[in-house]
Chain A
Amino acid sequence: MDTFVLDFMVASLRIASPLFFGALGGILSERSGVFGVGIEGMLLAGAFGAAVGSFLTGQPALGVLASAACGALIACVIGFVAVRLGADQMVAGLALNIFVLGLTSYILRSVVGGGQAPVIQVPLLPVWPIPFLAEIPVIGPIIFRQQPLTYLGLIAIAPMTLLLFRTHVGLTLRAVGENPMAAFAAGAHPNRVRFLAVVSGGAIAGLGGAVLALQQVGTFTDGMTGGRGYLVLAALIVGRWMPFSTFLACLVFGAAEVLQLHLQSWSLPFSSYTAQMLPYLIALTVLVVLGRSSKLPAAIGVPYR
């Protein structure tokens, strides 16, 4: 196969992986009936935890753990305000995002940097080629020559699908998202289920931040997620809240991002700004084409009291 196409696909998977972690977290949250608008903030908190944790301890593994912890911690805010108290989920998510944007920037400057914006460089996680499998033509270099967290994301698809559709826990989770009253009648505690779903989703989304900080950028900058959390929301709708289809949707957005980078290197009659619109325009177009055919969980956005 053409090396250009090959490189393109490797890069697409690479760039799609933070989105995919965000999307897995979003699936848990939205399937239980809580909008994932706060995913953007959880990704950013995760990126912060990963970069700062890894920088301060010198241990990338601790950075990864910190990212999940930060994501979960931030998700607790949504769990309390939107689930426990039943506030508007959309607006609570947006509030959380701006709060995290400010908080990470503030802590970086005041606590880590002593008043100035510190430059923290952390080494990127290395590529782990899987012995033998990496030698398979075409598939090998695309799937089996990636960084560790990307494998984790790929491996997570199967257990996540099983959890949602083949276990009692998954059934309860989906029931709470479709009809919390009925789930309550069947003995579940809808708000407890939602809280747990949001917080564990936050931990997974936090890992997405680690992918961004430790596998792609190697540092933390203010607002470095740059709206990826919102693309995730579009990917969820396109993928109909199914792990594998959502993964494919994330891949499409990843590919759009890579295409955008390539467009910038070709001399075209417009500047890089127009190229950067590509992922957002694709997301909008796909949403418009899908229209009402993608059905949200029935009780999403409705607080349970």
Chain B
Amino acid sequence: MMAAVGVYRRSGGWVRAFIALGLTFSLTAALIGFSGKNPITAYEAMFRGAFGSFDRVAFAINKATPYIISGIGVALCFRAGIINIGAEGQIALGGLAATWVALAWPKASPLIGIPLAFGVGMIAGALWSGIAAVIHVGRGVNEVLATLLLNFVALLLVGEVLHGDLGEPGAGFPQSPLFEPNYWLSTMIAGAQLHWGVLIGPLIAIGGYVLLRYTTLGFAVRVLGASRSAASYAGFSVPQLTIKLMLMAGGLAGLAGVIEVLGIHYRLIEGFSSGFGFNAVVVALLGALHPLAIIPAGLFFGFLEAGALSMQREVGVPSSLVAVIQGLTMLFVLAALAASRRSS
């Protein structure tokens, strides 16, 4: 019986995801048509931009990686009923901390420097979400509001250090100096952009799956998500669990920030994490909060963004359409979820 419910839920997730995407792309096509462009030409350009060459694919996978990693953290929290929207700020702090390491010890050997940057970045992300967690658990402040407000502070913090100690003098744009090449994540194939960091996404997904499915903590998360009172009745400490999950999600978001900074830009740039927090939420929802399903969901949005940039260049359809697609996907997934809950 339980297994049957599980199977229904999972297959339901896939069906929901496809229906949501289908509806989103039809509505978006109407929007493209409304602006006097041919939707088919636009989608063709989008498809070419996403899959047209090895470089485009590499670009899209690089883009998807931080979404997947931070999306899994978001999914863990959502599973437990904690609406953590703080990925954006936590990613920013992770990137900021990694930058600090890279600029403070420019001559460190890659074997020490890169792991150190990863470690410090994850701790920074976890601490940032830890603030929200403590405010939420200790003072009863709504977690959505706490994480949202901290996002703004984090983004401004990045701006502040880029205009101060970590900024590149005379760059004319708020960014840090380029890191020494020993801090660059090396690429898998010479001459292509694809870096080794992209393998971390699937690893984290498997880790998240194992955690949810086979550990006591994962069981506690599922119980907490089903019912708060059941969780405390079962002897799980809800405040402790909340803080633990928020710290994990923050650490993962920090990790995503480190990968973005060391793998793509090789420097800290103002606004490098902008929109990542929402993407993490969209990806987590589209993946039905299932760690393994978040991989295709994340890749989908990576390819979508890669494609949208080409679509803007070739057909002149503004790439802000991506945000429309994200918002609509999220709304349709939510609506489908709610509708299926009503009917059951």
Contact = CB atoms under 8 A, between A and B. Distances in A.
Interface of A: 37, 77, 80-81, 85-88, 90-92, 94-103, 105-106, 109-111, 115, 222, 227, 230, 233-234, 237, 270-271, 273-274, 276-277, 280-281, 283-284, 287-288, 291-292, 303, 305
Contacts of B200: none
B156 interface: yes
A265 to B, nearest CB: 16
Contacts of B163: 271, 273
A87 B146 contact: no
Nearest to B329: A95
Contact of B318 (A86, A87, A106, A303): A106
B83 interface: yes
A5 B259 CA distance: 48
Given A288-B135, A305-B342, A99 B327 contact: yes
A95 B334 contact: yes
B141 A103 contact: no
Interface stretch (B55-63, B147-155, B222-230): B147-155
B220 interface: no
B145 interface: yes
B152 A277 contact: yes
B331 A92 contact: yes
A92 B35 contact: no
B140 interface: yes
Given A96-B327, A110-B35, A287-B135, 4 more contacts: A86-B338, A106-B321, A277-B153, A284-B153
B19 to A, nearest CB: 14
A80 B339 CA distance: 11
Contacts of B148: 227, 230
Contacts of A97: 327
Interface residues of B, number: 51
Given A233-B145, A271-B164, A85 B342 contact: yes
B322 A291 contact: no
Nearest to B270: A273
Interface in B141-179: 141-142, 144-146, 148-150, 152-153, 156-157, 159-160, 163-164
Contacts of A102: 320-327
A111 B139 contact: no
Contacts of A98: 278, 282, 323, 326-327, 330
Interface in B292-344: 316-318, 320-328, 330-331, 334-335, 337-339, 341-342
23 contacts: A86-B338, A86-B342, A87-B334, A90-B83, A91-B285, A91-B330, A94-B85, A94-B278, A96-B331, A99-B323, A99-B331, A100-B327, A102-B325, A102-B326, A106-B318, A110-B317, A227-B148, A227-B152, A230-B145, A273-B157, A281-B153, A284-B135, A284-B150
Q: Is the interface of B mostly helix, strand, loop or mixed?
A: helix
Given A98-B330, A277-B156, A288-B139, A91 B83 contact: yes
B85 A106 contact: no
A102 B328 CA distance: 10
Interface string B275-289: 000100110010000
Contacts of B281: 91, 94
A19 to B, nearest CB: 14
Contacts of A77: 331
B233 interface: no
B334 A91 contact: yes
Contacts of B335: 80-81, 85, 87
